Amino acid sequence: MLRMEPGERVRVIVIRQGGIAGALLTYASDTASMPPERAARLRALVEASGTLTETPDPMTRRAPGGRDLIEWEITVEVGARSRTVRVTEDAVGPALGELIAFVRG
């Protein structure tokens, strides 16, 4: 479990892979390079997504019968600490989906 202290730098890296095309795309957002209101929004989305507090890797659902699903790898760096979660597109809930969308721009 990670904790964010007020004003502590937060960086989120989202990697999208798989799907029919098998494309690998990387996106990142960093509070150090954002206006304060966007940085606050990123921090709130990280908190709401559960990526800091959920216990082990939530990638428990895999593509049935060869179906090509997009897989997401989300790494949250808080200061010098980090946590990575992996999930297939069918297991992304609304809060995690909002974080992914924000980081993707």
Residue 36 belongs to some domain of the structure? yes
Q: Report the predicted TM-score, pTM, of the whole model to 2 decimal places.
A: 0.86
pLDDT at 56: 46
Residue 5 belongs to some domain of the structure? no
Residue 93 belongs to some domain of the structure? yes
2 with 52: CB under 8 angstroms?
yes
Residue 4 belongs to some domain of the structure? no
45-68 pLDDT, tens per residue?
Answer: 999 998 888 654 444 445 454 467
- List the chain residues with pLDDT less than 50: 56-61, 63, 65-66
Range of the domain at 73: 10-104
Residue 3 belongs to some domain of the structure? no
- Retrieve residue 36's tokens: 């304060």
Residue 1 belongs to some domain of the structure? no
Can you give the C-alpha Rg of the chain in angstroms? 14
How many domains, in total, are found in the chain? 1
pLDDT at 4: 85
CATH number of the domain encompassing residue 64: 3.30.350
